[in-house]
Amino acid sequence: MSHTAHIPSHRKPRRSASKIGLRAGVAGGVLSTLAVAGASGAAQAAEPVTQTIEMPTITADLSTQVAQSAEATQQAANSYALQAEQDQAVAKAAKQAKADQALAEKKAEAKKKAEAEARRKAEEARASRAAARATLSAPSASADVSIPASGSVASVVAFLKAQLGDAYVMGGTGPNSWDCSGLTQAAFRQAGVSLPRTSQEQSTTGTPVSLSNLQVGDLLYWGGAGSAYHVGVYIGNGQYLDAANPSKGVVIQDLSGYPASGAVRLL
């Protein structure tokens, strides 16, 4: 015991049970409050976790929306691309149609010019033929053989000269195109002589004569008798008239340039 314990003023006052209980109650209340506040704070702090758990649902919805938007964008892009291809095809078709039309017009113009040129040449050929006929029909002072003015031989020669300038056509029998035997057949018909159609047959018709003793109106042939490949008619002065070939047509030629193989006399 302290030596001052018996002094009343130095003694520590004893706390009463009620005060201690009160303070314990207050402390308990404070601790309860703190506990509630702590729990509340912990609950509030845990709330973001609850929101984070719900985010996957929000993210999935957003992903779906993005996918739908991307699909719509792709569809629009495909539509634009298709439209561009269609526009390009239409433009290409229009361009081709324009080119085809231009080509058709060019061909038509070329054809028109060609037809006009063909008509011009035909008219020139007819005029030249008429002039040649007029010249050949006139008597020739240099002829060494006189052509009868009338009679069967004269009619044959006159007919032949009237065909000068006509075209040569294989199988042609007139009136404006001939082959060699078609021309001679028609010419001798004027004198009442009926000749076979082919040069082979004509070369064996009539009386054979030597080439050194020819007379106007004699039928000349090239190749063997019975196998001749060409015929013509002697018109005097070392010349003959025939339907020569496609490049020459009906012409007068010199025997010296293309000697005959033989001759027959029909008149």
Residue range 64-82, pLDDT digits in tens: 777 788 888 888 888 888 8
CA-nearest of 166, 142, 148 to 252 is: 166
Q: How far apart are CA 185 and CA 191, in angstroms?
A: 10
Whole-number percent of the chain with pLDDT over 90: 43
CATH 3.40.50.2020 fits 149-265, yes or no: no
Query: 227 to each of 55, 181, 199, 212, how far by Cα in Å?
Result: 114, 13, 8, 22
Lowest mean pLDDT segment, chosen from 10-24, 146-160, 203-217, 234-248: 10-24
Q: How far apart are CA 7 and CA 201, in angstroms?
A: 189
Q: How many CB atoms lie within 10 A of CB 79?
A: 10
Q: How far apart are CA 241 and CA 231, in angstroms?
A: 9
Q: Answer yes or no: is pLDDT of 243 > 70.
A: yes
